[in-house]
Amino acid sequence: VRVATVRSMRMTVIGCGYLGAVHAACMAELGHEVIGIDVDPEKIAALQAARAPFYEPGLPELLERTMATGRLRFTTDIAEAAGSAVHFVCVGTPQKKGEFAADMKYVDAAVDALIPHLGAGELVVGKSTVPVGTAARLASRIADRAPDTEGLAWNPEFLREGHAVEDTLTPDRLVYGVDGGADTAEGKRAKALLDEVYATPLKRGTPLIVTDYQTAELVKVAANSFLATKISFINAMAELCEKVNADITQLADAIGHDDRIGRKFLNAGLGFGGGCLPKDIRAFMARAGELGADQTLTFLREVDSINMRRRIRMVDLAREVCDGSLIGRRVAVLGAAFKPLSDDIRDSPALNVAAQIRLQGGDVVLTDPAALDNARKAVPDISYAETVEDAVRGADVVLLLTEWKEYRDLEPATISGLVKNKRILDGRNALDPARWRAAGWTYRALGRPRA
């Protein structure tokens, strides 16, 4: 008996970074024939050898498995996009230097390079996070220069680094932004193609929301703005807890039991960073300004400043426990990645704090299970150690700044004999204060009582 399977489509994934490489491998896992394209020859060489160019749990195994089937391959040649039914655009949209706005040059270049290779009935699908209005602008460019195609859809991506494979294979929702919305003929044709792409998750009952372009674009930045706001809300409460010696973790537990609030994303600490939240809320503010809605998102400026203040507070706390000066102090830093299970150091709070301590004369030794190479390139003037033991040897103070499981599970006994002074600052509220204090350590954390 032949079991009905998902119809395989040929598709292109343009831009093979944190989003695109995972998307390409997951699409192949879903049974499609996929060509991943990037302008970075080193990244493509790694991927061609089935090596993940960055740390992402599950990706190495997935690459190996799907490339062995022959359904997934990688190239730097955009001409190989020709003949795919769907072309995903997954290139970066970083913050412009000196401005809040997103830099659209990579998206524009990718679409321009793709247009000459587009054939009749093929659909371009944007996944990058973009300012509202981008899809309409690109759709008219495609309509002008490649009128036989199916045009454009916008399909924002919600994956979390560190969980990117599961989030792509089993997303918690799918959003399609289609030309004119779900009821137009164009919209229906685009939806039909995307339904084929996502047949497996859709069959499993994944919620699907089909919108017009502008709503889909806004969904993504609204989601990230909400998450950033939730984090900065609890961090503002942590600032107040510090004033009165109250405990932010108990406060978060207590308000989190109200399911209108929810406990998730209420972990006070060093705040958010990475290649998404900071630049996305800034680009959103910039776009609101362009749309004449300058006042609407001013609260995001506050969200951003609360977030950045936590980094300064962490440095101040380190100086405080080192008796008022960091000059010549050995400071061990645990963590460089912007969050655990990632090697991404873009706008990393941990690395930012380490660099600030260095600027104040501290002698920083940093360790991280995955992000050391990236950190070394970004901040060359601090020292790096492969292990926690090497990082903390002779330390005046130890800072936990990225809550990797191995750091959460750290026992005071493991490092008590190595440090010069038993002082630990918990930048992520990841440790049990009682345990560390019982072992003779000075334990301080953001938003928690002094002792």
Least spacing, CB of residue 8 vs ligand NAD, in Å: 24
Least spacing, CB of residue 226 vs ligand NAD, in Å: 15
Placement of tokens 């998206």 in the chain: 107
The answer to whether 131 contacts ligand NAD (rule: CB under 6 A) is no
Which residue is at the shortest CB distance from ligand NAD? 17
The answer to whether 162 contacts ligand NAD (rule: CB under 6 A) is no
Give Cα separations from 137 to 96, 111, 131 (angstroms).
19, 11, 11
Structure tokens that stand for 81 in this block = 């996009």
Pick the closer one to ligand NAD by CB: 92 or 447: 92
CB-CB contact of 8 with 31 (8 Å):
yes
Q: Quick one: DSSP state of residue 173? A: -
CB-CB contact of 86 with 12 (8 Å):
yes
Pick the closer one to ligand NAD by CB: 8 or 206: 206
The answer to whether 427 contacts ligand NAD (rule: CB under 6 A) is no
Q: Any catalytic annotation for residue 322?
A: no
The answer to whether 11 contacts ligand NAD (rule: CB under 6 A) is no
What 3-state DSSP class applies to 425?
strand
17: left (phi over 0), alpha (psi -120 to 50) or beta: beta
Measured distance CA(422)–CA(397) in Å, rounded: 7
Structure tokens that stand for 113 in this block = 């390079």
One of 29, 56, 150, 161 touching ligand NAD (CB under 6 A): 161
Asked if residue 269 belongs to a known ligand binding site, the reply is: yes
Measured distance CA(197)–CA(202) in Å, rounded: 9
Catalytic choice (26, 90, 276, 322): 276
| Selection from 49, 58, 48, 47 nearest residue 21 by Cα | 47
Single-letter residue type at 181: G
Asked if residue 273 belongs to a known ligand binding site, the reply is: yes
Q: What is the DSSP string of 75-110?
A: ES-GGGGTT-SEEEE----PBPTTSSSB--HHHHHH
In this chain, which stretch among 14-22, 115-123, 247-255, 288-296 interacts with ligand NAD, using CB under 6 A? 14-22
The answer to whether 15 contacts ligand NAD (rule: CB under 6 A) is yes
The answer to whether 129 contacts ligand NAD (rule: CB under 6 A) is yes
One of 26, 37, 175, 315 touching ligand NAD (CB under 6 A): 37
Give Cα separations from 402 to 351, 383, 434 (angstroms).
9, 17, 20
One of 25, 52, 124, 159 touching ligand NAD (CB under 6 A): 159
CB-CB contact of 214 with 133 (8 Å):
yes
Pick the closer one to ligand NAD by CB: 161 or 304: 161
One of 9, 11, 13, 19 touching ligand NAD (CB under 6 A): 19
In this chain, which stretch among 38-46, 59-67, 200-208, 414-422 interacts with ligand NAD, using CB under 6 A? 38-46
CB-CB contact of 10 with 33 (8 Å):
yes
Sign of the dihedral through C-alpha 230, 235, 238, 243: negative
One of 84, 93, 367, 429 touching ligand NAD (CB under 6 A): 93
One of 45, 49, 68, 109 touching ligand NAD (CB under 6 A): 109
Active-site residues: which are they?
276
Binding stretches for ligand NAD (CB under 6 A): 14-20, 37-40, 43, 90-93, 106, 109-110, 113, 128-129, 157, 159, 161, 275-276
Residues annotated as binding site for NAD(+)? 38, 43, 93, 129, 161, 279, 346
